[in-house]
Amino acid sequence: MQADSPQATRVVPAIMLLIACGAQAQPTVDFIPANAALHYAARAYRSIWEEDGERIVAALEARTCLQFPESSVTATVADAVSHSGGPDHPMRLRASYMPDTKQSTLVHELGHRHLWQLVERLDGIDGHMTLYLVLDRVWADVWGEDFAARQIRTEANWGTDYAAAWDWARSLDPQERTRLWNRLLAMNGFPTGCDRLRRETE
């Protein structure tokens, strides 16, 4: 997969440093086609994970200040709406997405699974709003700011709920995102003081 330039070239050293400083080993993701016609799509998702999985996990862990909770994930690739699944159900990824949306959707659904650790949630802030506090920063860390901006526009076109959640998240400055995230961590018994939501230029 192609990374955005020049932003992506600037984020790679930062992410590699995070990996060196203690990110967990990359989880195994088993991409299973729902039928024989979808082997190519499953292979495309597998290629993304093989190339960028380590950086994806490092960015998720850095931006949330939480370790990724699973050592292995099963992902069904199907002609159906993507979904994070559940503890007893595999993740599902839509086969027909364009390559960049496959990238962003893989992170989106893994992000939901990652945030299952946050059992207690902020009043009035649903699952997508919670995810969107960090998702665009993870995308930008792995593939650059231009990629993140494009995928926000893509998801905002999926329906009014997605658009409203992105509008809300994007209306918050980095300090407010950080404040809300630390409240979430405290509510769930995790250490606070996470400041990775702030832009590095500030």
Distance CA 140, CA 62 (A): 13
The pLDDT tens digits for 121-141 are 999 999 999 999 999 999 999
The pLDDT tens digits for 6-36 are 344 444 444 444 444 444 578 999 999 999 9
Q: Would you mind telling me the total number of residues written for the chain in this entry?
A: 202
Mean pLDDT, range 173-184, rounded to an integer: 96
CB neighbour list of residue 138: distance below 8 Å, 6 or more residues apart: 56, 59, 60, 63, 107, 111
Paired tokens of 189: 């018994």
pLDDT of 193: 86
Beta-bridged to residue 128, according to DSSP, are none
Share of the chain above pLDDT 70, in %: 85
Quote the pTM value.
0.86
CB neighbour list of residue 135: distance below 8 Å, 6 or more residues apart: 107, 108, 111
